[in-house]
Chain A
Amino acid sequence: MSQFLTLLLRNRLAAAGGVVLLIVLALALLTPVLPLANPDATDTANRFQPVLSAGHLLGTDHLGRDQLSRLLWGTRLSLAVGIAAAVFAASIGAAIGIIAGYFGGRTDNLIMRGVDMLMAFPYILLALAIVAALGPGLVNALIAVAAVNVPFFARNIRGVTVGLAHKEFIDAARLAGLGHTRIIFSEILPNVVPVIVIAMSTTIGWMILETAGLSFLGLGSQPPQADLGSMLGEARGALITHPLTSVVPGAMILVIVMGINLLGDGVRDALDPRLRSGALARPMAATRVARRAPVPQNEDAGAVLALQGLETQFHVKDRVYKAVGGVSLQVKPGECLGLIGESGSGKSVTALSVMGLVASPPGVITAGAARYDGADLIGAPYETLRHLRGNRIAYIFQDPQATLHPLYRVGDQLVEAIRSHRPLSKSEAWARAVELLKQVRIPNPESRATSFPHEMSGGMRQRVGIAMAMANNPDVIIADEPTTALDVTVQAQILSLLNELRRERGLAIVFITHDFGVVAQLCDRVAVMYAGRIVEQGPTEAVLAAPAHPYTRRLIACVPELGEGRRKLEAIPGLPPAVDRLDPGCAFAPRCLKAQAVCKQGDIALAEEGARVVRCLFPETDIRLEQSV
């Protein structure tokens, strides 16, 4: 709640709207106790008095009634009617929406078609029809305005409920013995209330306008009772000769509706989780770079891609998440490096940092270098990065469903990938796209190129993802869990395809995964990450056969392997540390059986021996001994 208020008040316009609205509300509430003239007392002798005349602060109207008094009483009535209409419309609309969305099927169909019919009428015609049927009067105007707005709420809430009704927690509630009514009230409703509040806050102003409109037409409040709409309506005759009588209620309507709308927009922005998580903030074209230390010298000449002490952080408010805390690794042409770690270990952020693809804000690269063919990419001009992205260094992501555009044919998407880097004609690029689909072994590539992503299976889509990465014959492919979402039989096909491509073309692959089996089959070398740092690196076979870091050994031990039968697994107790409060020393020490006091005392350097590297004071395997054997 306090977070909501802070967010709301940070929005200046919304805060201003809120203040205005509060003043108006306070005035409306206090009207009966304020020393005002009788709003209905006519005094035709003193009609159309100007502002600040004796006894009439805002002058008088065409019957000589006090304008100030009528304005405040009228505002009071208009606000009450508008708010009451909003509450009625929201309650009835939400009830209809929840029932339609929760039960679905035929119930949903019938209810929503009825709502559609209601929506098909122009709202003012519908309201007029309702008032005509019920007779003029403020209560009937209220009913008409509420009824006209029910469809808006019903459709909004139904959409939200449909999403909720298929959530697993609804199933869980059913299994816990809750009936439909209880599920609607205790599971669905609490999740829908914020949406109702948002919808109400943005429509209440509209409802006040609509009520005023009906009163203006003489269908709402009946004389002599004043509300803002009827005041305007009565002043209409003297609009040219005595504009003041129209300006006073008009300005009040403007102030109220403006205040409500500004506040409503603020409420929506502060409450909507999508907007709150920064969906409105557009990330920069490349990750922000703020290096605190000088750029490291180029060391490894043979590597096509080399990271040197790369550090990437996320700055969220006053917290700093050290997602990547000094990662160094290299890949040579034709080599496959496995990057293994659990979620939150920083493996994906490492990969995205290379091409400056980490979203900024909140991402910041704070140290290190990422060299492609010796040239540093961190902080390189956007044009250079754009030239290299998808051209020399390409990515394959985990979920091809999310990375392919759902509305374009896969062939067209490939053509775009090709043409953004090469001056080919459309037909040449299309031929190349078909060729690429053939290379990733998609059967019948000519016709498949005209398919949409949703028409393909997961395995086929990932092949398109690979084809897109291959589109410009890159030197390096960074594959971020490319087979995690796939079935095992499809995974085997994709892995062997990647393996062939790299052997045929001397492609360097950085393969990010959490699966040791995949690493063992595909990768020449493996780097193990924990809490943003590499804890061990070396040739795959050596690392898997004799892991040196206790984390590597125990991570391998807790993965069941096919063919070993039923058994108890060796779990690692505890959880990986949060990267915004890392203690000094080894991040794994709290979960490590071999940890001693010295492990928690200072930075532990990487010990290097030949091809193997380990960051541990008490390694499981002495890598020096192993190298000499």
Chain B
Amino acid sequence: MSEVLKLDGLAKSFAVGKRLFGGPRGMVHAVRPVDLVVQQGETLGIVGESGCGKSTLARMLVGLLPATSGRIEINGAPLDNADPSEFGKKIQYVFQDPISSLNPRKTIRQIMDAPLKRLHHIDRATRTQRISEIFASVNLREEFLDRYPHEFSGGQAQRIGIARALAAEAKILILDEPVSALDVSVQAQVLNLLADLKVRLGLTYLFISHDLAVVEAVSDRVAVLYFGSVVEVGPAEQVFAAPRHPYTRLLAQSAPVVGRPLSAPEGRESELPDPLNPPQGCAFKARCPKASEICGREVPPLAPVGGTDHLAACHHPL
């Protein structure tokens, strides 16, 4: 195993209340410095609730957003985020909304052609052949190539999105909520296709979702994001079964599970912290039953808890 993707202190802040002249009114730290390593052939799941920074993180990884600080290494070489066409060959992205990620005024063939032409400069005949190969691998019929995006169902459109990402021949795919917009029966088809492609093509996935059960079903390791920081990372089978961070436990208990009686696992008044006015110390302390004086003072570092591959950022791990 080798490290194919390494994030070193990657962070992103957005200016709020921009003015024509002078500085902004405030800064929102959407992603606080994040260190993560993804191994060759691995699926790293990233879960978190809305506003936790998971999509911002994903967009930084593919160069759609410049990072405020920190660096990204792919196969040991630092990535220069100036040129998206260089990014495109190393790392690709599958979007959440399959329909809106396809240009409504282009045929599927034109959409599939773009990465082959612009990233790999392949001639026309070879492109046609490559597209047929890729379409066969994602179980799409070639007759679809001359149709327009609105003619497809969500599941088919998401397969086209995956096919486009495969055409770039990147070995790392960032999957940003790839099945959230799909119905459950179609969701399983797409997840199985992704699992199959990974083995056949030797891909590495970063799988982002808010659905804990889906993440658990597809991931080798899972990282839990809260308020822009990784609060827990560990093997998929352990993170939700035996969470070490109180937030992970709250998430796991909130997910509706057949056979578990209905209960609100936390007080009703709890609200997410205000990004414009972030709390001191641990961001979760206001919702945490184990919060103590040190939690209000120091941000807990991500540290190993019981075993080297399970880490949690908590002063009082469970």
Contact = CB atoms under 8 A, between A and B. Distances in A.
Interface of A: 106, 109, 167-169, 171-179, 182, 186-187, 190-191, 342-343, 441, 443, 457-458, 460, 487-489, 491-493, 495-497, 499, 514-518, 520-522, 544, 554-555, 558-573, 575-576
B107 to A, nearest CB: 12
Given A176-B164, A178-B118, A558-B187, A566 B256 contact: no
A168 B100 contact: yes
A487 B256 CA distance: 12
Given A458-B50, A515-B256, A520-B259, A488 B212 contact: yes
Interface in B212-230: 212-214, 216-220
A570 B189 CA distance: 8
B84 to A, nearest CB: 5
Contacts of B164: 172, 176
Contacts of A555: 184-185
A178 B103 CA distance: 14
B271 interface: yes
B84 A492 contact: no
Nearest to B259: A520
Given A562-B255, A568-B192, 17 more contacts: A109-B20, A167-B100, A168-B96, A175-B93, A176-B114, A179-B85, A441-B268, A441-B269, A489-B49, A489-B251, A555-B184, A562-B213, A562-B216, A569-B191, A572-B188, A573-B189, A575-B153
A518 B241 contact: no
5 contacts: A176-B115, A177-B168, A562-B240, A562-B255, A566-B216
Contact of B256 (A171, A518, A554): A518
Contact of A575 (B168, B184, B186, B236): B186
B263 interface: yes
B205 interface: no
Contact of B188 (A190, A517, A570): A570
A213 B313 CA distance: 74
Q: Which of A169, A179, A576 counts the most chain B CB atoms within 10 A? A: A169
Contacts of A496: 262-264
B266 interface: yes
B3 to A, nearest CB: 21
Contact of B257 (A168, A186, A457, A517): A517
B216 A178 contact: no
B40 to A, nearest CB: 18
B95 interface: yes
B216 A514 contact: no
Contact of A566 (B192, B219, B260, B268): B219
Contacts of B88: 175-177
A544 B260 CA distance: 13
A176 B268 contact: no
Contacts of B216: 560, 562-566
B109 to A, nearest CB: 13
Nearest to A559: B184
Contacts of A515: 256
Contact of B185 (A491, A558, A562): A558
A104 to B, nearest CB: 11
Interface string B256-284: 11111111111011111000000000000
Contacts of A569: 188, 191-192, 217
A521 B64 contact: no
Contacts of A493: 264, 266, 268
Given A176-B88, A177-B88, A521-B256, A489 B192 contact: no
B105 interface: yes
Interface in B188-219: 188-189, 191-192, 195, 210, 212-214, 216-219
B237 interface: yes
A522 B101 CA distance: 36
Contact of B258 (A491, A497, A544, A565): A544
Interface string B11-50: 0000000001000000000000000000000000000011
Nearest to B247: A489
A487 B211 CA distance: 9
A343 B187 CA distance: 12
A487 B105 contact: no
A563 B257 contact: yes
Contact of B213 (A168, A169, A487, A560): A560
B103 A492 contact: no
B87 to A, nearest CB: 7
A172 B87 contact: no
Given A175-B62, A560-B214, A514 B183 contact: yes
Contacts of B119: 176-177
B103 A495 contact: no
A175 B85 CA distance: 6
B258 A517 contact: yes
Nearest to B260: A521
A171 B188 contact: no
Given A187-B103, A515-B256, A555-B185, A174 B250 contact: no
Nearest to A190: B105
A560 B270 CA distance: 28
Contacts of B100: 167-169
A515 B183 CA distance: 10
Given A496-B263, A575-B153, A172 B93 contact: yes
Given A168-B95, A176-B115, A521 B262 contact: yes
* Most chain A Cβ neighbours within 10 Å, of B251, B258, B262: B258
Contact of B237 (A176, A460, A488, A565): A565
Contacts of B73: none
A541 to B, nearest CB: 9
A84 B171 CA distance: 52
Contacts of B153: 575
Nearest to B102: A169
Interface centre among B210, B213, B253 (most CB of A within 10 A): B213
A169 B101 CA distance: 4
B56 interface: no
Contacts of B317: none
B279 to A, nearest CB: 16
B220 A492 contact: no
Contacts of B210: 487-488
B285 to A, nearest CB: 16
B64, B184, B218 interface centre (most CB from chain A within 10 Å): B184
B184 A342 contact: yes
B155 interface: yes
Contacts of A171: 59, 64, 93, 95, 101
Nearest to A460: B271
Given A168-B101, A169-B100, A173-B103, A488 B254 contact: yes
A517 B104 contact: no
A599 to B, nearest CB: 19
B8 interface: no
Nearest to A572: B185
Given A489-B49, A566-B218, A569-B188, A191 B105 contact: yes
A561 B257 contact: yes
B257 A492 contact: no
B213 A175 contact: no
Contact of B155 (A457, A460, A563, A575): A575
Nearest to B212: A562
Given A441-B269, A565-B216, A343 B185 contact: no
A558 B258 contact: no
B230 to A, nearest CB: 18
Given A562-B216, A566-B236, A571-B192, A177 B84 contact: yes
Contacts of A458: 50
Q: Which of A176, A178, A566, A575 has the most CB of B within 10 A?
A: A176
B177 to A, nearest CB: 11
Interface string B166-182: 00100000000000000
A99 to B, nearest CB: 18
A109 B118 CA distance: 31
Nearest to B62: A175
A555 B93 CA distance: 29
